[in-house]
Structure 1
Amino acid sequence: MTRPALRSILWLGFFGAILASWWWLYAMAMQMDLDLIGRPGPMGEAMRRMDPRMDMYMPMAEFWPLFAMWAVMMAAMMLPTMVPTLRAYEDLMISANGTRIGWLGVLAGYSIAWLAFAALITTVQLGLLFSGVIDMLGIATSPLVAGGLLIAVGAFQFTRAKEICHGVCHSPMSFFLTRWRTGARGGLWMGLRLGAFCVGCCWGFMALGFVGGMMSLLWMGLATVFMVLEKLPQIGHFVIKPMGFALIFGGIAVIASPIVMGG
């Protein structure tokens, strides 16, 4: 197989995985909508077997279904942000002795880092669910919690940790030039490091799902677009702090709204 053909196959597979992930999330969201309005479905029947008092089933109360949802969500939302990183690796393949196996290693390492985060946030979500902080849809049950989360994620946009992690995500070429390793193991090592920095940069936008609902396609779409914009060389540095201000003001508005309405 020629190198151009292999490159095309790998990139097509990469974008195919993104499209398949979004399709899966859309199908799951639609199924949840059907169950919410009382129409029959496999999710509703499963929940009724778990608890006869429940009218619907949500895969939010068990680790493995919830982890699977988060894993697919990671693929749908984070793989698009990895395009500049994979392109940067390709640019160094000839001059720095890179290979397609190394390219796959970078992708694998990055994915492993986000799968680890998926396991962590799955555990956190279950804890929040069983403590009553969020409901079965993954939405915060209190405006104070929702607003506090918005403020916390907004404030994180101004921290040194965000600056460091975003610096690596924003300039993967600099990372490769200073930490280059060849072969599949080298690619895996670099991918793990890049994935860890990416988690550090973007974890807050994943956590914001507890404000709008874990299966909100609107939230997922907007968060994905913003995280892609953050990594664009031309504008990435200019959108971080405005988003921080927007999230903080949004959090204050969410907390104040029941007070204003009640008063």
Structure 2
Amino acid sequence: MATEPPLRRGNLLPARVLVTAWSLLVLIAVLAWVLTVGQARHMGVEPGTMGMGVPLFLLLWLAMMAAMMLPSVAPVAITWARGIGRRSTGVTRAARMASFVAGYLLVWTTFGLLAYAALAATGDLVHDHPDAGRWIGFTAFLLAGLQQLGPLKNVCLRHCRSPLSQLMRYAGFRHWARDFRVGAHHGLYCVGCCWGLMIVFIPLGVMNIAAMAGVAAVIFAEKLWRLGPVFSTAVGIVFLALAGLAPFHDWLLPGLTPPGAPMPMH
């Protein structure tokens, strides 16, 4: 059964409110991009965590997630606000949407702890054994490709593209912190959908702005484009092809090349 993007006609909220909500989320995403790009210019692309401790890494990871994820999660957040709009003032509705986004980003920040551990482990391994980077890259691309083509991806992507039935179930949550919990639940689905896309930052580099932009575009297309599921499958096939090339082409692995090591020509 075909899925459809979550935001459709027949809005319960006035157009002015929807435009304001979209504008606010886009503004936050733009500011997050500015922060991330500015920091990346000073750090470059290196293996591992680049000397960052957990607090600083999580702060930058949060900015990355806001930059990459908010454009695609905005329709879901606004859809949730539409459902509660009849019983909410404009101020209350904005606070509830902020709570939804906070819960969503908290889940991705928690996932950042796993990303930090993976980057720290692979960074230490590459510094001790530079040739291991090729096989780490192979493994990362392979896992990403298999995840894109696997059943968990399909289940979670289906939810992200058509969340209305799940949002109706969330309406039964008790009122306390309900919007925060809804955002966190949706964030868990999003992690299940996109964790494979995140592990490609191990070979490509966690502060690789080009890679960030590419992954953000993939996420946006998967969730909102009419042909998103087909596109998701194509991306998985590309990752599998990159897995086959990674052991033989170091230029595919800027995030696994130690500082000072010669980088082969493209």
Give the TM-score normalised by structure 1: 0.76
Report the secondary structure of 1:231's partner residue. helix
Return the letter of the residue paired with 1:14. L
Gaps of 5+ in 1: 37-57
Matches within 5 A, 1:1-263: 10-33=21-44, 59-94=50-85, 97=87, 100=93, 101-132=95-126, 142-180=133-171, 181=173, 183=175, 185-232=177-224, 234-257=226-249
The separation in 2 between residues aligned to 1:63 and 1:133, in whole angstroms, is 20
Taking only the aligned residue pairs, the percentage that are identical comes to: 21
RMSD: 3.0
Q: Deviations over 1:8-31 (max 9, x none)?
A: 665443222211111111111222
> Closer, same or farther in 2 for the Cα pair 1:172/1:133, shift >3 Å?
farther
Q: Distance in 2 between matches of 1:174 and 1:248?
A: 33
Query: Quick one: higher RCO (CA 8 Å, sep 6+), 1 or 2?
Result: 2
TM (normalized to structure 2)? 0.76
If you compute each CA radius of gyration, which structure gives the higher value, 1 or 2? 1
Q: 2 CA distance for matches of 1:152 and 1:214? A: 17
CA deviations on 1:124-157 (whole Å, 9 max, x unpaired) are: 222322333799xxx9962221122111110111
Do 2:25 and 2:71's aligned partners in 1 also have CA atoms closer than 8 Å?
no
8 Å Cα contact 1:104-1:184 kept in structure 2: no
Sort the Cα spacing of 1:179 and 1:149 in 2 relative to 1 into closer, same or farther, 3 A: same
Q: Kindly provide the CA deviation profile for residues 17-76 of structure 1, in whole angstroms up to 9, marking residues without a partner as x.
A: 21111111111122235x99xxxxxxxxxxxxxxxxxxxxx7534222222221211111
Deviations 1:165-185 (Å, cap 9, x if unpaired)? 111111122221233247562
